[in-house]
Amino acid sequence: MRHEGLLERFRVSFSVFHHTSSSHWCSCSKTISDEKYQDPFQLGKKDLKNLYEDIKKELLVSAAELKEMCDYYFDGKGKAFRPMIVVLMARACNIHHNNSKEVQASQRSVAIIAEMIHTASLVHDDVIDDANSRRGKRTLNRIWGERKAVLAGDFILSAASVALARIGNTTIISVLTQVIEDLVRGEFLQLGSKENENERFAHYLEKTFKKTASLIANSCKAVSILGCPDPKVHEIAYQYGKNVGIAFQLIDDVLDFTSCADHLGKPTAADLKLGLATGPVLFACRQFPEMNAMIMRRFSKPGDVERARKYVLQSDGVQQTTYLAQRYCHAATREIRKLRPSPEREALVHLTEMVLMRDK
């Protein structure tokens, strides 16, 4: 898979990132585009109208309790980040191919399916992590119990599969079912760990791709296939989604150390409490080798979480992870600029900047 080449590069370059000075990081932090500002949320608004109502139609079920559980996260209060990327990519590819500015019904269906798969994965993640809160509200597993939460997640996935089959394109089915496989494999990767430092970082990046970036990459690829026959365009869409997705998760891992719980909508240092060594921890480990033992025991001893958090904040782990996210965003921008100019293309460029600047 293409991602393996990326992992190999990072095995070689991990030490290079570590030695990049914080002043170099600061000089790269200004990434605002000089081009005409295009607000992704405004541009995607028309195609995302009634998105959550349409999702609820896909979740038609007679059992009142299951319906209430399925509707719980589809309350219309989310930013619909993934569907927005998908519809913008659809329009950018359509314009590139034949100057069509409209999103096809099948492309919009991909946006709906992507949000359903993402939400089902959150429901299952919360059960695995025994999480108490998500998006500033109590998790399904806390309200209805773990067993029912698992079943609700399964039901959302099954409804997404039915919607996917309705598109009637076997290539699209193959591309999007890869996402579900990656989500499961990513969860298994998260349950494991590596002793060797470079292997550990590659393991982390692969897990990040499978759990977060694969959904965005393959959803972007799917709408490009529906809108344009050129395989080069499909690769551009995939690479853009992959790089933005990895950057998004890297910033998420940074916010786990720098944002307050109320602002983030979930507890801070949550990853450490789950025994996970994310980017800031792995970079900090180079400055504080005593963290190695804590990583291997998954921060299980009393005081490990607090000590590890202190080491991360004393190190340049947050800055280095942010710098790495910038590198991924720059790669995403390089890819999307290969398409013909359009407001949607510029909005996707601006989206990479928004990913870097977000605070929750």
Inter-residue contact 242 to 334 (CB < 8 Å): no
Residue 15 has pLDDT above 60, yes or no: no
| Residue 232 vs residues 86, 243, 269, 331: alpha-carbon distances, Å | 18, 17, 41, 16
Question: Could you tell me the pLDDT band of residue 64, with boundaries at 50, 70 and 90?
Answer: confident
Question: Could you tell me the pLDDT band of residue 267, with boundaries at 50, 70 and 90?
Answer: low
Give 324-345 pLDDT, tens digit per residue.
999 999 999 999 999 999 999 9
The pLDDT of residue 266 is: 56
Token output for 226: 């529906």
User: In the predicted model, what is the mean pLDDT of residues 21-44?
Assistant: 53
Domain spans of the chain, in order of start = 40-357
The pLDDT of residue 264 is: 53
The pLDDT of residue 45 is: 87
Pairing of strands 133-134, 137-138: antiparallel
Higher pLDDT, 12 or 120: 120
Residue 16 has pLDDT above 70, yes or no: no
10-14, 26-30, 185-189, 214-218: least confident range: 26-30
Residue 259 has pLDDT above 90, yes or no: no
Does this model's pTM top 0.95? My answer is no
Average pLDDT, the chain: 87
User: In the predicted model, what is the mean pLDDT of residues 71-87?
Assistant: 88
Residue 27 has pLDDT above 90, yes or no: no
Query: pLDDT over 70 for what percent of the chain?
Result: 87
Q: Give the span between the Cα atoms of 237 and 107, in whole angstroms.
A: 13
Give the helix/strand (H/E) hosting 138. strand 137-138
Residue partners of 1: CB distance under 8 A and separation at least 6: none
Give 87-136 pLDDT, tens digit per residue.
999 999 999 999 998 999 999 999 999 999 999 999 999 999 999 988 78
Residue 307 has pLDDT above 90, yes or no: yes
Residue 257 has pLDDT above 50, yes or no: yes
The domain 40-357 having CATH identifier 3.40.50.10190: the answer here is no
Token output for 9: 């590069």
